[in-house]
Each structure stands twice: as structure tokens, then as C-alpha cells.
Amino acid sequence: MANSTSVRTVVVPAAGMGTRFLPATKTVPKELLPVVDTPGIEMIAEEAAGAGATRLAIVTSPNKDEVMRHFDEFPELVEILRARGKDELATKVERAAQIIQPVAVVQDKPLGLGHAVGLAESVLDDSEEFFAVMLPDDVIEPTAAMSEMIRVRQEHGGSVLLAVEVDPAHVSNYGVFDIETTEEDAVKKVVGMVEKPAAEDAPSNLVATGRYLLDRSIFDALRRIEPGKGGELQLTDAIDLLISEGHPVHVVVHDGIRHDLGNPAGFIPASVEFGLRHPKYGPALFRDIEEILEKYRPQLG
Ligand code: G1P
């Protein structure tokens, strides 16, 4: 099979309205909110390039041009910074334009994740048998998970997703897997997938976490599904359709860090974790957090 070992295109759905971050997202796209100092969209670009991809297909809505602008070169800003001796900052500013080739795909209407992914078909080369989807809300570490998913596709074919275990009470926020074991502990065969079921109807507490390695046949499935949960075209439903037709789908069970940047309750811990790890801010932040914790312990501890 040609081109079977590396992923070329990563699709990044970034057309959402960011409602859980209003009022900040009235004017600032959610994907540009900084984790310490780097926006989520740049972190995803690094992860995609690290997995070997050369093209980032960013699905945006018509009023979110700033997401694409982040990947421009900003020569005047770089020149000013260099003239002032701020070389480290200049290098940071230049970075986004060097990571990967960004391509804009415009989604005119918010018709769902499945619709957004379907639009990206137009940017794939004819020879691309598979591609990846990375949801910028989901931060995962180690970021090498995609390489592991590529390995699993080489072994089992079909499509491979990343899964995490969540508290059974929270499954209704996710696409949930019905699974069977394989010879490998961290790899499960998916026999069904359901989008945001009620806790009592969920087939497991193993859920999709924003990394998909999809066979090209997903586009055909996306054309055949009806609006599902929330009246939107769901990627989960297209994957479930493929499974029902015998397409192999597996999950790699993620054993690492995961943060949800899509809402303040996940964004704040992500900022704390990345902040603590930052050589410049970490040590002082640690002391600040200790003080803050002491202050709030009587109320919240
Ligand atoms: C989307 C998917 C869902 C998946 C989740 C992971 O939901 O539809 O299947 O589990 O991302 O973050 P969203 O969070 O966009 O509602």
C-alpha cells in the first residue's frame, strides 16, 4: 500500500463559536486563547508536524480569519523585536509560520463535527488513503500518541482513535466506545460507537478524546449519515456506520495527560500544569499556588 506509513494531512476543526468561553470569544477565537503564552492552535500544529504531517487543514468559520493569521510571518514585528535585542521573543513569533503548511477550509454553517471533517476532503491529495483529525480542545501528552495510532493502523488497517477512561457519570459529554479486547492491553477493537449517550445507556466509560486516524472511506460515510445528537452531523455516527459495514476500527487507550481547553474548567488546570512546567514561570507560580491554596483551604479544602 503506497503512503501507508505516514500521515500527510491533519484536519483541525476550529469553526465552533466557543460559547463556553463567552464573553472572551466575542472577538477572540477560542483556538487563540493562550496556554501560558502559546495558543492551542499552535500547540496542535506542533503535534501534527511531530506526527510527520505536512499540511494542516484548518476548518474555520467565515468570521474567524484570525486563526489563519496566526500562521502568517509578521516580519515587521520580528524586526522590531530583533532591533530591541529580544531575539528569543522574535523566534517565538516566527515559529508558527515554520511548523507546517496551513490550509483554510471554510465552514459556512455550524452543521457539526462530521460536516466540518467532510469539508476537508477537498484539500487531500488523491493518493492519501488516510488522514488525521486533531481537535484543538483536547490537549494530550505525550503527543506521540498519533504515531502509536499509525502503528495500530498498519497492523489492523481501517481507522484508529484515541480513547480515555472517564468517570462513568461524565460519559454523556463524549463519543463512547463499545469495545472488545485484543492481544494488546492498550488496543481495543471497537464494535460500536455512540455520541453522548445518557450514562445508563453508555456501552462503556471509554470515550473519544480528540485524535482520529481515519480511512478515506469516512468521507463516503459522512455523506450517508443523517443529523444526529444536537441536530448536527456527527463524526461518531459516520464511524459507527463504517463499523456496521465491517470497516475495522480500533482505539489506543491513552495513558497520559489530557486537558480539555474547550471550557474554563479544563483550561484553568491546563494553564496551571503548563505554567508549573515553564522554566521562567514555574517556580514562582508554585509558591503563588501554595499561598492561594492556603487561603482557600478553609472554604474549599
Ligand atoms: C467531540 C466529539 C465527541 C468526542 C469529543 C472529545 O465532542 O463529538 O465524540 O468525545 O469531541 O473532546 P465536543 O466536545 O465537540 O462536543
pLDDT tens, position by position, 68-112:
999 999 999 999 999 999 999 999 999 999 999 999 999 999 999
* Element of type H or E holding 221: helix 217-224
Cell (9 digits) for 32: 487563540
Query: What residue ranges line ligand 1, CB within 6 angstroms?
Result: 113, 135, 137-138, 174-175, 195, 207-210, 236, 262
pLDDT band at 4 (very low <50, low <70, confident <90, very high): low
| Band (143; pLDDT cuts 50, 70, 90) | confident
pLDDT score for 227: 97
In this model, does residue 241 exceed pLDDT 50?
Answer: yes
Per-residue pLDDT, averaged over 140-154, amounts to 93
Q: Higher model confidence: residue 186 or residue 3?
A: 186
Segment 191-203, tens digit of pLDDT? 999 999 999 999 9
Q: How many CB atoms lie within 10 A of CB 230?
A: 10
- Please state, rounded to an integer, the average pLDDT across all residues of the chain: 96
pTM of the model: 0.96
- What CA–CA distance (Å, rounded) separates 264 from 149? 29
Tell me the C-alpha distance between 74 and 94, whole Å: 7
Cβ-Cβ contacts under 8 Å for 35 (sequence gap 6 or more)? 43, 139, 261, 267, 270, 271, 274
Is the pLDDT at 273 greater than 50? The verdict is yes
Report all structural domains of the chain as residue ranges with CATH numbers, in order of start. Answer: 9-262 (3.90.550.10)
For 136, residues 6+ apart whose C-beta sits below 8 A from its C-beta are 12, 13, 14, 31, 40, 41, 43, 44, 261
The stretch 56-60 carries a mean pLDDT of 97
CA dist 29 and 17 (Å) reads 8
Longest dimension (CA), the chain: 62
Q: How far away, in angstroms, is 180 Cα from ligand 1 center?
A: 22
Rounded Cα distance between 133 and 221, Å, is 16
Of 292, 273, 259, which is closest to residue 300 (Cα–Cα)?
292
Give the C-alpha distances (Å, rounded to integers) separating 154 from 71, 123, 148, 159: 32, 23, 10, 10
Ligand 1 closest atom vs CA 235: 8
Which tens digits make up the pLDDT trace of 11-41? 999 999 899 999 999 999 999 999 999 999 9
Give the whole-angstrom CA distance, residue 167 versus residue 206.
9
Backbone angles phi, psi at 85, to 5 degrees: 80, 10
Cα of 138 to ligand 1 centre, how many Å? 9
Closest residue (by CA) to atom 13 of ligand 1? Answer: 174
Express each pLDDT in 124-140 by its tens digit: 999 999 999 999 999 99
The rounded percent of the chain whose pLDDT value lies above 90 is 94
pLDDT, residue 63, reads 83
Pocket of ligand 1, candidates 170, 174, 194, 237: which has the most ligand atoms within 8 Å of its Cβ, to mutate? Answer: 174
Residue 230 zone, left/alpha/beta (φ > 0; ψ -120 to 50; rest): left
Q: How confident is the model at residue 1 (pLDDT cuts 50, 70, 90)?
A: very low
